[in-house]
């Protein structure tokens, strides 16, 4: 995500342990002690570093994810592990990756892609088109965008470039390979599977890979949406920022949207997730319906 912040596992337990200062009924059975103070430090650190507002109900998830990092780093307590992060440890990236879960699929929220296709047709082939997918996860969303580009322009899609970013380097590595198990593409039409994916010789049994001509439309890079500057050049025609903002509080959302607006063409479109609303940023973006937004200055 933040680059892309992402979603957090829905399963969490809010029960309090009878052991003072510990966070679960099972706390006494844990390998590492995990106090309320430890959990609040984690919440503060992930907010400061990635802008993510971690729910108070995520104690058990946080423990299970970070306990793996304690084992991997040889730390014997959460306090020691978190102290090492604050001292400038290169563990930061793994810390953030551990606390984020990527939920995605090809052509998720499908109502957006006909809107994208029509916008692309209106722009045409007379100039370059730039698209930013700001929460690429394992690649299904940017490749869905690329397929839409190919379906719109056919072989004449060389003027379109897609930058796909995420905060999590692990998922970016998966996305860059463009290889997926068959169950990840089973909902695609047979025509899309035939035209845009490869099976057979040179590919693992039970897997498909995105065709090279689709992969060439997309470049992947790590971007934290909280960074003061994004490594992007030129005005953007489209920003996909879907199912990311719900993990930021309103001030952080507004701060990010303030950066987005001047990066966009006057007629650019921003696509948000189905549960996201930017009414608090009406001076920056106006809704067009179906969680599609235009710059407020563009009428």
Q: Which residues are catalytic?
A: 65, 166
Name the helix (H) or strand (E) containing 264: strand 264-272
- 155 phi, psi to nearest 5 deg: -75, -10
Dist CA 15 CA 292 (whole Å): 39
How many Cα atoms sit within 13 Å of 30 on the Cβ side? 27
Judged on CB neighbours under 10 Å (0-12, 13-18, 19+), 8 is: buried
Dist CA 169 CA 178 (whole Å): 15
Query: Distance from first CA to last CA of the chain, Å, rounded?
Result: 30
Dist CA 73 CA 61 (whole Å): 19
- 144 phi, psi to nearest 5 deg: -65, -40
């Amino acid at each position: 995500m933040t680059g892309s912040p992402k979603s957090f596992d829905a399963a969490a337990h809010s029960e309090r342990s009878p052991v003072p200062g510990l966070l679960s009924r099972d706390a006494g059975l844990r390998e590492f002690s995990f106090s309320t103070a430890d959990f609040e430090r984690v919440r503060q650190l992930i907010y400061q570093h990635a802008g993510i507002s971690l729910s108070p109900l995520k104690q058990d998830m946080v423990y299970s994810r970070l306990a793996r990092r304690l084992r991997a780093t040889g730390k014997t307590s959460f306090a020691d592990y978190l102290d090492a992060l604050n001292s400038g440890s290169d563990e930061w990236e793994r810390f953030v990756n551990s606390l984020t879960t990527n939920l995605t699929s090809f052509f998720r929220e499908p109502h957006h892609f006909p809107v994208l296709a029509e916008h692309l047709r209106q722009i045409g082939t007379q100039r370059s088109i730039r698209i930013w997918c700001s929460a690429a996860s394992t690649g299904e969303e940017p490749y869905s965008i690329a397929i839409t580009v190919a379906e719109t322009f056919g072989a004449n899609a060389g003027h379109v470039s897609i930058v796909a970013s995420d905060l999590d380097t692990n998922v970016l590595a998966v996305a860059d390979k463009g290889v997926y198990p068959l169950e990840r593409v089973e909902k695609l039409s047979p025509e899309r599977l035939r035209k845009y994916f490869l099976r057979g010789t040179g590919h693992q049994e039970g897997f498909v890979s995105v065709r090279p001509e689709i992969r060439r439309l997309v470049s992947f890079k790590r971007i934290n949406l909280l960074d003061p500057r994004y490594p992007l050049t030129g005005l953007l025609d489209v920003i996909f920022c879907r199912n990311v903002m719900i993990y930021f509080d309103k001030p952080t959302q507004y701060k990010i949207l303030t950066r987005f607006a001047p990066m966009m063409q006057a007629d650019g479109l921003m696509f948000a997730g189905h549960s996201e609303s930017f009414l608090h940023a009406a001076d920056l973006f106006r809704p067009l319906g179906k969680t599609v937004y235009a710059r407020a200055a563009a009428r």
